[in-house]
Amino acid sequence: MLNVNPKMLDRLAELEEDLHARRARAEAEGWLGEIEGLDLTLRFLADKWQQAMRLSKITGAAGLGMPGIRVPTR
């Protein structure tokens, strides 16, 4: 199973938009098999979107702050 890089969420949105346009055309043309395939692909895309969102929360950068300067003790 491939993992989606969270930086690619914009690309997933483009793919989803294209798939919806293709589905609308398939519906207008009466291509039932194509509609079924596109619906399945849209479901997989939604799963990948959720996976990428989970990964973006897990792999987010942790703020450690700036290190302090130690004053030498004698």
Residue-wise pLDDT tens digits, 49-63: 888 888 777 765 566
Residue range(s) defining the domain that contains residue 34: 11-58
- Residue 46: what pLDDT? 93
**Is 34 or 72 the better-scoring residue by pLDDT?**
34
21 within a domain of the structure (yes/no): yes
Query: 5 lies in a domain?
Result: no
- Residue 1 falls inside a structural domain: no
Task: Give domain status of residue 52, yes or no.
Answer: yes
How far is residue 26's CA from residue 38's CA, in Å, rounded to a whole number?
9
In a domain, 66, yes or no: no
User: Residue 38, class by beta-carbon neighbours within 10 Å (0-12 exposed, 13-18 middle, 19+ buried)?
Assistant: buried
pLDDT single digits (tens) 11-48: 889 999 999 999 999 999 999 999 999 999 999 999 98
Q: How many helices (H) and strands (E) does the chain have?
A: 2, 0
Does residue 20 lie within any of the structural domains? yes
